[in-house]
Amino acid sequence: MAKKTSGRGQRDLFVKVKTARGRKMSSTKWLQRQLNDPYVARARAEGYRGRAAFKIMDLDDQFRFLVPGARVVDLGCAPGGWLQVAVPRINALGEKAGKARGRIIGLDLQEVDPIPGAEIHVLDFMADGADAQVKDWLGGPADVVMSDMAAASSGHKQTDHLRIVALCEAAAELAFDVLDVGGTFVAKVLAGGAEGQLQTLLKQRFDKVSNVKPPSSRSDSSEKFVVARGYRGRLAPGGGDDPQDERDADTA
């Protein structure tokens, strides 16, 4: 174990992991990175289910979409770190006196351990009728749809990039169905050149589209997050506003 001194005058420990017999070098590097990642240590100390919790913190601190009273959908919510962050910020437990109480729905293909204040369901968000089911659980349209999903790694960088962009596009399609006008879509993508179509799609539907790499994202990772704000509503065939939006506005 080697020691290094930080610029703050404190001695930090750097853990060096030897490659054990039968263990791949890639596994050794991952383990060493985990042991020396300050966000991994901080997540453990603060009771979060993973370092990803700090990514949604960073994004919300910058864009302020997790506000009291918000109705939120978290796609691919396992292990639940984003839910843990969102619950107090939207006041899902009603602990902030005088503030509106929000609601958050977590969706995943696998069972996720319960989180107080969050409603978690096993559901394939790409299944037929998923949008109607989500709105039924929420009691109306969502204010925020967010996703930290990543497709299973194939080991081939370009293939993985295409897979996660496709997953993000599918998440965006659900968002178009369940978001209220003015809503926000947040999703992880991998930089790699194939996300142009997604960017074009989002710019057609939202007032502002930002691409951000939060401080808590590893510097050697190609991940970034798209934050699309000000949902305009579904587009009608041909690119115009959805007539249903106009009818809803007329009857509001």
Give the catalytic positions in this structure: 188
Residues 6+ apart with CB under 8 A from 51: 37, 39, 40, 42, 43, 81, 216
Cα four-point dihedral sign 188, 190, 196, 198: negative
Buried b (16+ CB within 10 A) or exposed e, 106-132: bbbeeebeebebbebeebebeeeebbe
Rounded Cα–Cα distance for residues 12 and 29 (Å): 19
Residue 79: cis peptide before it, omega within 30 degrees of 0: yes
Hey, is 40 helix, strand or coil?
Answer: helix
CA distance 25 to 31: 10
* Rounded alpha-carbon distances, angstroms, from residue 210 to 55, 135, 158, 190, 214: 15, 26, 23, 14, 12
Q: How far apart are CA 73 and CA 147, in angstroms?
A: 8
Q: Is 207 annotated as a binding residue?
A: no
Alpha-carbon span 64 to 79, nearest angstrom: 23
Distance CA 59, CA 63 (A): 6
CA–centroid distance for 154 within its chain:
21
- Whole-angstrom Cα distance, residue 40 to residue 146? 22
Is 80 flagged in the annotation as binding? yes
Task: Please report, in range form, the residues annotated as the binding site for S-adenosyl-L-methionine.
Answer: 80, 82, 108, 124, 148
Known binding-site residue numbers? 80, 82, 108, 124, 148
